[in-house]
Chains A and B, each alone.
Chain A
């Protein structure tokens, strides 16, 4: 519904965004693809050449890779489950008539605004630290041995930290959705004799489907790239116990200075992200009315 001139104008106006994003995405991706087939080690810069799929094979043959892949999926999945489930429960709770709702919401949303390195360092030092952390003090108070969170349960600890960061986001979106549910619907269901559980199951949860999908989509986008929290706390360790795919690539590039291998890892990460994105977009496409 427009004229030739406005359509022309529209193309010109979209062009900078599209061109910039294309360059931002395509040029590095093409370079990564190129490097992934090259021998390229910063420690031995004079030995270069094509190596075929060797860089990829190195990944597939490395037990660390499969662990990292598992850790990545466990991190995304674990955080999603924790935040969505707790998010629904908390949203239901603070949607009730509660005194001081405004202040309450401010407290609940706070972790979302804490930058990842700070969040990680609070948890690492003030809470999980085996000597000076609050958890250790608590354990000692009960006469128990302090739990070595980051040493013995590194992945669970990271999932816990990241869940804490994202829980407010999930809660807030689910709460917003909950508040848009008309009370008449619930009253009608109550008149029809539906129990609290049935109202939750047949009216409230279906109403929140869209919000839940949005939470999953947005969080997945950010969770696939989780880096700062691991960098600050476990550095991927102990050993490789909490190494995710992004962190493994980072290690190859920065510690091992093997650009070729890191590039191959990057391509694998892109493929993984695309697989996840494909399923997500198919799910979300219906809900995001673009």
Chain B
């Protein structure tokens, strides 16, 4: 079981409230991603749940019991660190068995569980190596193995893929997702990469300056961002945000249109000049400077033959315009 509830959690260092007040409920078996720019408090929040930091005030419940003042080891959680935090002086086998040894499990049972975890993670042939002799991806799997053997109530991941190269990151992303599907254990995953958040999460928690901006499924956040921050953070390339006359025409302070929701058509209301063009093969991204001064990103098809300096007209697709009020809140 792994239901985690945060009630009015506050964390301050001296006078600085890193996390002013957070309420959040994480259901058993959910894959929850904390996402936000660096310094938004997402890692601190994870460390509060782990027990590596004390809350200044508020309460953390794990499976219905108050865990606010339990030491990390007593919370039944396992954590995978950004640097993997493997014990460099121990073999892979000893690394994975370490939590079991600390729990005082008999050796034969330790070995059984280590073998099992190694099989799941394809590490059987590496059990007698040291972390220094492994590749980045293998180290990552050892760190996960060390977490699995404890059969924790929930897994905590602190930016686990940020030290891997781009190709490996995609593979590991899928492996972790598959692991979640087979274990069905609660996972809390911290990242600053919105692509990871979108692809892995059941539920995304967008954090900014220690506050929750929005909680929802990846598609909810994509289709219905609650405010300007979420609108700008989720989606790649970024949503175009336009203030001024074009926004007032829609009765809003700011309007947002995603690059994929702009059509190039001669009848379009917004006219401008093509600047940079990026050809990705499947798509082409155009930077267009409107006559009114705004710069927009447009996603066009791979075969678009526009060049620097061409004049074009753009039209937002009907119903795909996001409207925001003066406080940056989404308008119905």
Contacts and interface: CB of A to CB of B under 8 A. Distances in A.
Direct contact of A and B (CB under 8 A): yes
Interface of A: 1-5
Q: Ordered nearest first, which 8 A-B pairs have the shortest CB separation?
A: A3-B54, A4-B54, A3-B53, A5-B71, A1-B53, A3-B52, A2-B53, A3-B51
B177 to A, nearest CB: 30
Interface in B36-74: 51-54, 71
A10 to B, nearest CB: 14
What DSSP secondary structure best describes chain A's contact surface?
Answer: loop
A155 to B, nearest CB: 52
Contacts of A1: 53
Given A2-B53, A3-B53, A3-B54, 7 more contacts: A1-B53, A2-B52, A3-B51, A3-B52, A3-B71, A4-B54, A5-B71
A8 to B, nearest CB: 11
Contacts of B51: 3
A70 to B, nearest CB: 50
Contacts of B52: 2-3
Nearest to A1: B53
A5 B54 CA distance: 9
Contacts of B54: 3-4
B303 to A, nearest CB: 46
Nearest to B51: A3
Most chain B CB atoms below 10 A, which of A2, A3, A4, A5: A3
Interface in B276-293: none
A19 B18 CA distance: 35
10 contacts: A1-B53, A2-B52, A2-B53, A3-B51, A3-B52, A3-B53, A3-B54, A3-B71, A4-B54, A5-B71
Nearest to A5: B71
B229 to A, nearest CB: 26
Contacts of A3: 51-54, 71
Nearest to B44: A1
Interface in B222-263: none
B158 to A, nearest CB: 13
Nearest to B52: A3
Contacts of B53: 1-3
Interface string B121-161: 00000000000000000000000000000000000000000
A150 B71 CA distance: 67
A284 to B, nearest CB: 28
A2 B47 CA distance: 10
B306 to A, nearest CB: 44
